[in-house]
Structure 1
Amino acid sequence: MGQKVHPIGFRLGYIKSWDSRWFAEKDYPQLLIEDIRIRDYLKKKLYHAGVSKIEIERAASKAKKAKVSIWTARPGIIIGKKGVEVENLKKELQKMTQKEIIVNIQEVKRAEVNAQLVAENVALQLERRVGFRRAMKKAVSSAIKLGAKGIKIAVSGRLGGAEMARYEWYREGRVPLHTLRADIDFGLAEAKTTYGI
């Protein structure tokens, strides 16, 4: 039976790039833990701002410096009036890591065709008790309407509060997972419903 490989991991170094870009020898575990902490903190704090990707870069020579790039659908919320919010965010990250942090905000132009944002939107609708089929079909149609060549969306768990968990998916257009040059975006989100995750 065919096993499913992660579509982004499969294309790394070919058409996709890593989300953390740095090199370390002895202090690799500490830097990795720091990356995970930064990502978790930003995901929690900026959940309402529609963050799709967080990239972390460090220069090999300057271990005390890091650049954090945040891709978001609503940059105004993160930046705040006259950049107040982004400065507070920078201070928090510097306090957390004891390093000089450069925060870079990038705008996601089309949120409807960004896989992570689509997944989070569907998860949010499931938490608000919208029917799962309706939420999926809406996401599929809006992505196709806004220029995606294809989309596949899947939900699994106790759909509609059923006793037995199941898995359902919809696909429209083409999603060539085996074609390495195909720019496949992947997003995953969990919906914390009353029936469980």
Structure 2
Amino acid sequence: MGQKVNPNGFRLGISKKQNANWYAKGKDFSTNLIQDLKVREFLKTRLKNSSISKIELERSADSFVVNIHTARPGIIIGKRGEEIENLKKSIQKIVKGPSQINIKEVRKPDLDAQILAEGVAQQLEKRVMFRRAMKRTVQSALRQSAKGVRIEVSGRLNGAEIARTEWYREGRVPLHTLRADINYGTAEALTTYGIIGVKVWVYTGEITEDPYKSDLGAS
């Protein structure tokens, strides 16, 4: 089961937290959910090459807060903060209310599965051989103290007639262990032969603390 399930969803409440934090009743729930999806899609398109790790959304009675985790905060903020102001205005139009954007820097991007997946996808789009791209990415993560990394690519690899799946792994990646800190990310490479899917698993150790402990303490 651990082999097939999304590692992030499999560990929610155990070693992972939700990327959206709000509560709504009745029809407001569907409205908020649609707005969340639109905001995520907008930011994913607008900040495609900004090394985004994850986007966290929070709501209160009078505000909408977006926390963007990125390895390249300067690109998102822009010159004199112009780019982030434009993003803020666009988000306010989507949610029809005041919004706030917080930029949080990812200190070790080589251990972030989402950033690694997008890096592999960019290499594939530049026609780098898929095995070389996978091996290079795995080794860069292991140099940053990762205990195990697995990368999987699917599609018409190297322009082959028949689509297939190839993977490369070094170290341990225990998908069945719920307390294992598995960072998981996906990306798509748009090549001349079609779309190639990229999946990355990064194992950095075991988690013993409750991920919601800090939130409970703050409340």
2:130 paired residue number: 132
Distance 1:44 1:2 in 2: 31
**Is residue 57 from structure 1 mapped to residue 55 from structure 2 by the alignment?**
no
Partner of 1:111: 109
Q: 1:2 to 1:41 in 2, by over 3 A?
A: closer
Measure, in 1, the Cα distance between the counterparts of 2:15 and 2:159: 40
For normalisation by structure 2, the TM-score amounts to: 0.85
User: Which residue of the partner structure matches residue 13 of structure 1?
Assistant: 13
Instruction: Verify: 1:67 aligned to 2:68, yes or no.
Output: no
Shift of 1:94: 0.8
Unaligned runs of 5+ in 2: 196-219
Deviation at 1:146, TM superposition (A): 1.3
- How big is the shift at 1:2? 7.9
Give the structure-1-normalised TM-score: 0.95
1:169 paired with 2:170, answer no
Q: How does 1:1-197 map to 2 (within 5 A)?
A: 4-26=4-26, 27-59=28-60, 62=61, 64-197=62-195
Q: How far apart are 1:84 and its partner, in Å?
A: 2.2
Code of the residue aligned with 1:82 in structure 2: it is R
Contact between 2:3 and 2:176, CA under 8 Å: does it hold in 1? Answer: no
Deviates more, 1:94-103 or 1:179-188: 94-103
Change (3 A) 1:76 1:2: closer
Task: Give me the CA root mean square deviation.
Answer: 1.3
* 1:81 Cα deviation after fit: 2.5
Aligned to 2:217: none
Q: Deviations over 1:53-101 (max 9, x none)?
A: 0000112xx0x42110000110011112232221221111112221111
Task: Give the AA of the match of 2:8.
Answer: I
Q: Which moved more, 1:182-191 or 1:87-96?
A: 87-96
One-letter amino acid of the structure 1 residue matched with residue 30 of structure 2: P
Shift of 1:22: 0.8
Length, aligned pairs only: 194
Partners in 2 of 1:3 and 1:151 — Cα distance?
15
Structure 1 residues 3 and 150, CA, compared in 2 at 3 Å: closer, same or farther? Answer: closer
**Aligned partners of 1:147 and 1:3: how far apart in 2?**
24
Cα separation, 2, equivalents of 1:2 and 1:58: 32
Q: For residue 180 of structure 2, give the secondary structure of its aligned residue in structure 1.
A: coil
Please give the alpha-carbon distance, in whole angstroms, between the structure 1 residues aligned to 2:39 and 2:145.
33
Provide the C-alpha distance between the structure 1 equivalents of 2:3 and 2:45, rounded to a whole number of angstroms.
32
- For structure 1, the 5+ residue unaligned runs are none
CA deviation profile, 1:122-154 (whole Å, cap 9, x unmatched): 011111111000000000111101111110100
